[in-house]
Amino acid sequence: MLELRNITKRFGNVLANDRVNVVVRTGTIHAIVGENGAGKSTAMRIAYGFYRADEGEILVDGNPHKIHSPHDAIALGIGMVHQHFMLVDTMTVAENIVLGAEPGTAAALDVIGAEKRIRALSDEFRLSIDPGARIEHLSVGQQQRVELLKALYRQARILILDEPTAVLTPQEVDEFFRILRRMRDQGKTVIIITHKLEEVLSISDEVTVMRDGRVVGQRKTAETNAAELARLMVGREVLLRVQKQPATPAEVVLNVCRLSMKSRLSEISFSVRAGEIVGIAGVEGNGQTELIEALAGLIQPSRLGGRVEFQGKDISLLNARERKEMGIAHVPEDRHRRGLLLESSLAENSILGIHYREPAVRRRGGIMLDGTRIRTRAEQVIREFDVRPPDCELPARALSGGNQQKLIIGREFKLPPKLLLVSQPTRGVDIGAIEFIHRKLVALRDSGCAVLLVSAELEEVTALADRLMVIYDGRIVGEVDPAWASKEEIGLMMTGGLRG
Amino acid sequence: MKLIRELTFPLIAIFAAFLVGAIVITAIGDDPIETYSLLIGSALSWPDGIGYTLFYATPLIFTGLAVAVGFRCGLLNIGAEGQLTIAAFATAWAGIFFANSSAWILIPLTCLVAILSGAAWATVPGVLKARFGSHEVINTIMMNFIAAGVASALTQTYFKEPGDAILESGPIGNSAHIPRLGQIMPGIPARLPLNVAFLVALVACALLYVFLWRTKWGYEIRATGANPSAAEYGGISVKKQIVFAMAVSGGLAGMVAINEVLGYRYRYYQGFSPQYGFTGIAVALLGRNHPVGVLLAALFFGALTRGGLFVDIFTEKVSKDLVLILQALVILFVAAEALFRRRLGKNQTQT
């Protein structure tokens, strides 16, 4: 049993943990949920000896222990798998696992003995990992299992997993959860930090909810539900279902005709009308990224075949800037890589893509930026899209994922767009912000904008889309009515098993 | 407030460098306090100390700005040395070829040649990077050697005065001379080589600041440097920015010729640059790639150069190499500071 008792931790003048009490029973899967910045990772890092608590104590099996470093934690049988893997790409699984705890004498590394033990562990929990494989050749899901093995190899009885599903595809999540259940059934204790409610409900036995550094509730999973957990997390009632009227589609805005890209997209044809949201469901990596980037003008026309028409005009040869000028807005799937200048201020980020024209520059065709108008406009975006903290001089890096996303959405909505290409709009975003973003997307549709939505969250596309297409291996394998199609049917199409 | 914060770390780095330098001086067998007071005193005495400090700082302001612009676009321009060599040669050529024009034509013309030739030389690695993806560090280093070779070969073959034992060109036209500050400002002795190029350097700092932070072109350069993928998403052609930023960088490096050729030697002189281009990298690093920081850092390096001469002459054992040691230590501590700051930042942001 692991117990945190009255744990308090300050970073500067931020109170990250305020008298946190968590009791994790042996042989259970315990979920710690909360929005970004609720203090859940901090609490667990204290348990793992990464940080030291200012006040409070940690009890393992009823006895208080001083855990000053991960070393102490490992000695007590506590292991942690971080959100970002700590693996050396060019080394083998076995080498990575023994790293820092090398077996054998100082001179001779006992790799063979280690491989044997790792293979036994892998078989015991059915992880199907080859100890001799090199990390760089493994999928993300497999790498995560290597991290699990690392903890198990060090004889962890209590495993802390920080947002383990963030990097996994839906199929990998299912497999991963099966592994966790197997571990629990063999007596391990699993603590999973997450902010996804469906995961909490499907995997955990007990759940602790945190908000603003405090524990606001501890429940048996069987005795709670998504609505209650969401209310505890956010601190108010949250609408988990998207509220929307039936769409009233008007003229065709986007018409894609046999769009192809070598080994990525093959002959994709569809159209999107004003006033409707067309969703694209699919397992990640089946061409969604390329499709959206091709439509946004971010892929060289010479690499593409087929035609893209916008409001009846062929735009296949136009670049990203020209397309944006016509009213095509784009919320990219990877906001850190594509969407933001992380070190630059919110004001500077708010003009990315329109920085060369009014109102960002003083005069039409001018070259001087208009600082005052840029700031006014940035403040408007911040206000209308509830970006927090509302300070347009802050660097984008200082914002949470949800607020970064709201800034990008605000910037793109303010174009204003006739067509919005939006990819993974709520990835890594808090529940409260998800609700907000969904409402904004529906409002944009209702104002007559055409929306093309790509999301890896099946729930999200089915809830938002008026029409839903499924993409598999670079082609559209079918279109369904999201209101009627079953999850199983869509899921089968997503894996190429069924054509609609 | 922000200024103080930005200045703190460079000042700590300088202080730490002097501290370690003191150990070196003691080990050599001189008195550090005496040596340092000699170093600082000779660099800041009026008028000669300050005059020479500003004069030595002038080329470093240009090369520091050149490297800083590159950095802002995510480019490491190691080739400022070659760019300023070519620019100095081209400027001297223009000053000789059009020697009979009036100053009103010749000075703007030679200045323009300085900027454009430096820019042209830097554009080559820019285009190579944009077109073929070859790394600018390699190409700018290579072009340093080519520049040195081309300039000396052409000087040797076409511009050397018969009988001159030194590898240098003939003099440029008198009308191409830009005035020393002593000639136009009361109170400054005319014997100081400090010239109008220093004022040009100050203007260049101001203009570069406006360019980078107040124009859409500067925004595009900074966006490209901050995150090329996001810049591309924002409709900015990363390739164009690479070429453009290299050209601006080379143009600034070329402006060294205004000081050296038009304001000081009045000819092309092989080996006139004690590696201004490379010191410019250190200046940009210490100055945080900001025009104001570059100005301050260049003044600091200029003062070290001036003071070093006196340390060399008037101390028992310490040579002017002490200045190189101090420069190296400053760079070392500035680099270490990045590590320190990262650790500090980490502790504050993790939750």
CB A21 within 8 A of CB A28: no
Q: Does B97 touch chain A (CB under 8 A)?
A: no
Same domain (yes/no): A117, A159: yes
The domain limits of chain B are 2-342
> What is the structure's pLDDT at A400?
81
What are the CA-CA distances from residue A43 to residues A2, A23, A67, A215, A487 (Å)?
12, 12, 13, 10, 36
Q: Does B230 touch chain A (CB under 8 A)?
A: yes
Q: Which residues in chain A (138-177) have CB-CB distances under 8 A to chain B?
A: none
pLDDT tens for A47-85 read 999 899 999 999 999 999 999 998 899 999 999 998 778
Q: Do A330 and B235 touch (CB under 8 A)?
A: no
State the Cα–Cα distance between residues A465 and B71, nearest whole angstrom: 44
From B230, B350, B351, residue closest to A339, measured CB to CB: B230
From B215, B227, B349, residue closest to A342, measured CB to CB: B227
Residue A417 region by backbone torsions, left for phi larger than 0, else alpha for psi between -120 and 50, else beta: beta
In a domain, A399, yes or no: no
Among residues A171, A205, A234, the one where a domain terminates is A234
From B219, B226, B229, residue closest to A355, measured CB to CB: B219
What are the CA-CA distances from residue A492 to residues A173, A174, A471, A485 (Å)?
16, 15, 11, 11
In a domain, A329, yes or no: yes
Residue of A nearest to B211 (CA): A368
Cβ-based contacts of A360 with chain B (< 8 Å): 216
Among residues A234, A263, A289, the one where a domain terminates is A234
Q: Do B216 and A352 touch (CB under 8 A)?
A: no
pLDDT range class, residue B125, cuts 50, 70, 90: very high
For the packed helices A140-153 and A170-185, what is the interaxial angle rounded to 10 degrees?
20
In a domain, A135, yes or no: yes
Cβ neighbors of A336 (< 8 A, separation 6 or more) are A342
From B217, B226, B347, residue closest to A344, measured CB to CB: B226
Q: Does A338 touch chain B (CB under 8 A)?
A: yes
Same domain (yes/no): A222, A258: no
Min Cα–Cα distance to chain A from B287, Å: 18
Strands of A63-65's sheet in order across: A14-24, A2-11, A55-60, A63-65
pLDDT tens for A261-295 read 998 999 999 999 999 999 999 888 899 999 999 99
Chain position carrying tokens 């790409």? A89
Q: Do B216 and A361 touch (CB under 8 A)?
A: yes
pLDDT range class, residue B350, cuts 50, 70, 90: very low
In a domain, A354, yes or no: no
- The helix or strand, by DSSP H or E, that contains position A313, with its residue range, turns out to be strand A313-314
In a domain, A280, yes or no: yes
In a domain, A34, yes or no: yes
**CATH code at position A283:** 3.40.50.300
Residue range A440-462: mean pLDDT, rounded: 93
Min Cα–Cα distance to chain B from A133, Å: 33
Q: Does B278 touch chain A (CB under 8 A)?
A: no
Same domain (yes/no): A223, A291: no
As given in the structure block, the two tokens for residue A177 are 């959860």
Cβ neighbors of A186 (< 8 A, separation 6 or more) are A124, A125
pLDDT tens for A218-236 read 999 999 998 899 889 888 8
In a domain, A370, yes or no: no
Same domain (yes/no): A258, A220: no
State the Cα–Cα distance between residues A475 and B167, nearest whole angstrom: 69
Q: Do A368 and B234 touch (CB under 8 A)?
A: no
> What is the structure's pLDDT at A205?
95
Which of A200-214, B34-48, B198-212 is modeled with the greatest confidence? B198-212
Cβ neighbors of A356 (< 8 A, separation 6 or more) are A321, B216, B220, B235
Same domain (yes/no): A133, A63: yes
> What is the structure's pLDDT at A421?
97
Min Cα–Cα distance to chain A from B252, Å: 20
Q: Do B219 and A341 touch (CB under 8 A)?
A: no
The CATH label, of 1.10.3470, 1.20.1250, 1.10.20, 1.10.10, for the domain at B2-342 is 1.10.3470
Min Cα–Cα distance to chain A from B341, Å: 15
Same domain (yes/no): A100, A18: yes
- Chains A & B: contacts with CB separation below 8 Å: 80
Q: Which of B1, B213, B220, B233 is the best residue to mutate to test the A interface, defined by the most A CB atoms within 10 Å of its own CB?
A: B233
CB A493 within 8 A of CB A468: no
> What is the structure's pLDDT at B349?
40
pLDDT tens for A189-198 read 999 998 888 8
Same domain (yes/no): A181, A311: no
State the Cα–Cα distance between residues B80 and B62, nearest whole angstrom: 9
Q: Does A494 touch chain B (CB under 8 A)?
A: no
User: What percentage of residues in chain A have a pLDDT greater than 90?
Assistant: 61
| Structural domain count, chain A | 2
Q: Could you tell me the residue range of the domain that residue A448 belongs to?
A: 252-341+417-494
State the Cα–Cα distance between residues B211 and B221, nearest whole angstrom: 10
Q: Does A356 touch chain B (CB under 8 A)?
A: yes
Same domain (yes/no): A210, A278: no
> What is the structure's pLDDT at B290?
95
Residue of B nearest to A372 (CA): B214
In a domain, A220, yes or no: yes
Same domain (yes/no): A308, A212: no
Same domain (yes/no): A142, A188: yes
Residue-wise DSSP of B260-289: IIIIIISS-BTT--SSHHHHHHHHHHHTTT
pLDDT(B90) > 50 = yes
Same domain (yes/no): A283, A193: no
pLDDT(A498) > 70 = no
pLDDT range class, residue A413, cuts 50, 70, 90: very high
> What is the structure's pLDDT at B105?
95
DSSP state of A136: G
> What is the structure's pLDDT at B103?
94
pLDDT tens for B232-278 read 999 999 999 999 999 999 999 999 999 999 999 999 999 999 999 99
Cβ-based contacts of A11 with chain B (< 8 Å): 347-348, 350-351
